[in-house]
Structure 1
Amino acid sequence: MSRKHFTLYSYATGPNGWKVTYLLNELGLDYETKFLNTKEEYKSPEYLKLNPNGRLPTLVDHKNNDYTVWESAAILLYLVDKYDTKKKHTVTKDKDKYHIYQWLFFQMSGQGPYFGQGFWFTYLHSEKIPSAQLQYQNEARRILSVLESVLSKQEWLVAGKVTIADIAFVLWNNIINVLLGADVSFEKEFPATFKWHSKLIEIPGVKAGIAEKAFL
């Protein structure tokens, strides 16, 4: 059997690799996912040769001399720059390009860390620290409020269409009730953001990735 175009190294329960899965699906690109779900796997000497940070995801492009990219936002940018020839999920104008960067960096520096720490202190930390839980839940609400302030005025984050900027937010927003509590209404508190997210999870490549994750 011939080798796939890409190998994606990912983490089954982590958020960042799924961003890449969604985009690979949307662009119709051929790939194999290798899930590294233990520290021994993603800190192994073999994997550290690909990603010296020892984190996930990492993408290897076998049709580009095994070109390797790590950090999820960098991977998304690589894929649209090189393979989104129809500009389905990227843009052509500089003013829009830098807005894509802006939202990707906001997701990576804001949503990802704050939602991630909120999840850690709520479910994984050995000691329950209510003040830490509240801190990160409040930060999560702040991030959602920023999105709400923009999405209440426009349908998508950049250029009036779905781009990688939108797709990057899907996974964490998909588990808002896990983070903030079952009694929180995403739709009532952040109606424009909820509407945006509801459309994103129905995009075929995103929907396929969500279904795949559910079966792991």
Structure 2
Amino acid sequence: MQPIKVHVIPAGPNPWKPVLILEELGVPYELNSFSFEAVKQKPFIDINPNGRAPAIEDPNTGLTLWETGAIILYIIEQYDTKKILSYDSLKEKHLSQQWLAFQISGQGPYFGQAGWFNALHPEKLPSAIERYNNELKRILGVLDGALDGQQWLVPGDKMTYADLAFTVWNDRIDALIFCAPDKKFEGFPNVQVWHERMTSRPAWKKIMDTRAQLMDEQGLQPNGMPKGINSFQEYEAMMKAKAAGTP
């Protein structure tokens, strides 16, 4: 089997979702890592005209694909033949798809907007910050309730791709809403135990080590801030200067 090429921006959460699935399944892959500035430029927009990472190119089937949900479902259908991370049974199969859809439509967008308005938007908008911080916590509440009394989102005896799809955004909550790392799951104990169960696995540790290496190569710290920036205040000042065209 030839390795699947995965195009990633290492700082972004979404590219690591399919990478984690591939790693858990033991499917060979290679990473094409590039900076955020290149995502809306050629040659990448010839692969994904939407200008977002990730995208994959699978030489085994000749398929090029973008959008994480589509990529994950493709990987599962094509390569999880032993049903390591999925089910064949009607109920469990569709519940897995349901939770993946919730991650794509709920967790990802709301968590992303929380991060944007807390950290990146040039103007502080308290109403927007409050809205998306509350939405982030609402999503955690949905997950916490679903996990009450069970280990995984889909009732059964194993972790699925649907569980794994939530890990990367959940892992960054402290950076999104500026809370202490040990407080990011405060009030959501089921989510915390579930998240720790997945991030203690070798596949997670391996891809996060890879991410750290790629971030270092791009002059970025693990939290996404450029090297030499030691606080959010410094980062905010840098972003303001950049927006104003000040060197």
Normalising by structure 2, we get a TM-score of 0.81
Q: Following superposition of structure 1 onto structure 2, how do residues 118-197 of structure 1 map, counting pairs within 5 Å?
A: 118-160=114-156, 161-183=158-180, 185-197=183-195
Q: 1:182 offset after TM fit, Å?
A: 2.5
2:5 to 7, 12, 19: 7
The Cα offsets for residues 34-84 of structure 1, whole Å up to 9 and x where unpaired, read as 123233x2222432222121211101101112x111111111111111111
Q: Following superposition of structure 1 onto structure 2, how do residues 19-38 of structure 1 map, counting pairs within 5 Å?
A: 19-38=17-36
Q: 1:187 offset after TM fit, Å?
A: 4.6
- Write the letter of the residue equivalent to 2:171: N
Q: 1:208 offset after TM fit, Å?
A: 1.1
Q: Distance in 2 between matches of 1:133 and 1:124?
A: 11
Name the counterpart of 2:198. Answer: 200
Greater mean deviation of Cα atoms: 70-79 or 44-53: 44-53
- Write the letter of the residue equivalent to 2:162: A
Name the counterpart of 1:48. Answer: 45
- SS of the residue aligned with 1:111? helix
Name the counterpart of 1:59. Answer: 56
Q: Distance in 2 between matches of 1:4 and 1:37?
A: 25
Q: Is the 8 A contact 1:152 1:193 kept in 2?
A: no
Unaligned runs of 5+ in 2: 216-247
Name the counterpart of 1:68. Answer: 64
- SS of the residue aligned with 1:16? coil
Q: Is the 8 A contact 2:5 2:32 kept in 1?
A: yes
- Write the letter of the residue equivalent to 1:38: F
Q: 1:209 offset after TM fit, Å?
A: 1.1
Higher RCO, 1 vs 2 (CA within 8 Å, ≥6 residues apart): 1
Q: Is the 8 A contact 2:115 2:177 kept in 1?
A: no
Normalising by structure 1, we get a TM-score of 0.92
1:109 to 83, 105, 110: 105
1:93 to 80, 89, 92: 89
Q: Distance in 2 between matches of 1:152 and 1:210?
A: 28
Q: 1:175 offset after TM fit, Å?
A: 1.4
Q: Distance in 2 between matches of 1:89 and 1:206?
A: 15
Q: Is the 8 A contact 1:187 1:195 kept in 2?
A: no
Distance 1:58-1:187 versus aligned 2 partners, 3 A rule: closer
- SS of the residue aligned with 1:102? helix
Q: Distance in 2 between matches of 1:52 and 1:141?
A: 33
Q: 1:179 offset after TM fit, Å?
A: 2.4
Q: Which runs of 4+ in 1 moved over 3 A?
A: none
Q: Distance in 2 between matches of 1:101 and 1:32?
A: 26
- SS of the residue aligned with 1:63? coil
RMSD, aligned CA = 1.7
Q: 1:196 offset after TM fit, Å?
A: 0.2
- Which structure would you say has the larger Rg? 2
1:16 aligns with 2:14: yes
